[in-house]
Copies of this chain bind each other. A is one copy, B any other.
Amino acid sequence: MNIIHIYLFGLGNVGSTLIKQILESQHFFKTHQGIELKIVGLANSRKVLTTADGIGDDWEQEFAQKSITRRSDAFYDFASSYVEVRIAVDATASKELSHFYPELVEQGFHVVTANKIANTLSQEFYDNLRLLLRERDLSFEYETNVGAGLPIVDTIRNLHKSGEEIFAVNGVFSGSLGYIFNRFSEEELPFSSIVLEALKNGYTEPDPREDLSGNDVARKLLVLARETGLKIEFSDITIENLVILDLQTASANQFIDRITELDKPLLHRKSLLQPDEVLRHLGKLDVVNKSLEVSLQVVKKDSPAGQLQGSDGFFEIYSESYASHPLVIKGAGAGKAVTARGLLSDIIKIAKSCPIVIYK
């Protein structure tokens, strides 16, 4: 039996769904896979809880009662008394936490993250983190960075690692913006009300501007670009911002208060559509020309992107073997359930790769 200690950062939509999935499947992992997953650490932005036995169904109550004020080294002190494999799971969108990944690795943690920041900081940070991981023989998994639980990162990584030249990756990179523009193209609702509903359902980032600005898709393009071996910075990406200038620097609350100001320009875009056309938010990674582009585009209703429904993401990979007909992966590309399941899949991948510890 391999015991795995999980330290979870972020108890919002995705984090709490992940806890639920782990608690529900604990028995399955134990009996079918010889893996005992114990969530021994929980942290939100203010509080932290550690518990050697692992949390149970009453974790919310336990966290409320027994958590202490967060110190950056609270997990390290606790972890140092155990020999078990330790995995830090980042279910936040925190930039601050991303900067701690190198420290987590130095403290012997594998890292699993849904957070795209660490992979999209400077190329120098990216390369240093990987160097550190190699030195410590630790894993860093982030399949949920692109397309939630869809196997995009892994597919590109496996193609690249097997020596296949990747030419381009195009598609609807954001399940959130997929959901928003599918509805906006078909329904007679103001743009703002669709965005607010997407926010409420956990489809968008906590600040929807991260999606609407194009930054979130740009980060995904950058994650994949670097996976194909490109050395490139976030500032090299061409990004169309759907947030009007006035609201780009407002506070998060101000933005939500004034979100209806986005309606007019987007209604104008919609009014220009032909009956057989819809709006789609597309990302284009041209590996050959080192060009990364994020924009809102008009596409035919009967094109692959035009046919998308719900919060489906859609990815076309062009490579040596898939040169004329791309490799296509499509499916729910956002939402707390698929994202949490993707994190869990990354956790299991690491658990499986660790040699079984024989306890004294």
Q: Which A residues have a C-beta under 8 Å from some C-beta of B? A: 21, 24-25, 28-29, 32-33, 149-151, 154-155, 158-159, 161-164, 229, 302, 309-310, 312, 317, 320-322, 324-332, 335, 337-338, 341, 344-345, 347-349, 352-353
Contacts and interface: CB of A to CB of B under 8 A. Distances in A.
Contact of A322 (B317, B327, B331): B331
A354 to B, nearest CB: 11
A310 B162 CA distance: 24
Copies in the complex: 2
Given A25-B162, A163-B344, A317-B331, 5 more contacts: A21-B163, A320-B337, A322-B332, A325-B331, A328-B328
A337 B323 CA distance: 12
A322 B311 CA distance: 11
Contact of A162 (B302, B327, B329, B341): B341
A313 to B, nearest CB: 10
Contacts of A309: 325
Contacts of A229: 32
Contact of A348 (B32, B162, B322, B345): B162
A326 B330 CA distance: 8
Contact of A158 (B25, B29, B349): B349
Given A154-B154, A321-B149, A321-B332, A161 B345 contact: yes
A34 to B, nearest CB: 9
21 contacts: A150-B327, A151-B151, A151-B154, A151-B155, A158-B349, A159-B341, A162-B341, A162-B345, A164-B341, A317-B331, A320-B337, A322-B338, A325-B331, A327-B330, A328-B328, A328-B329, A328-B330, A328-B331, A329-B329, A330-B330, A353-B353
Kindly list the 5 A-B residue pairs having the minimum CB-CB distance in the complex, ordered from nearest. A25-B163, A327-B331, A162-B345, A328-B330, A162-B344
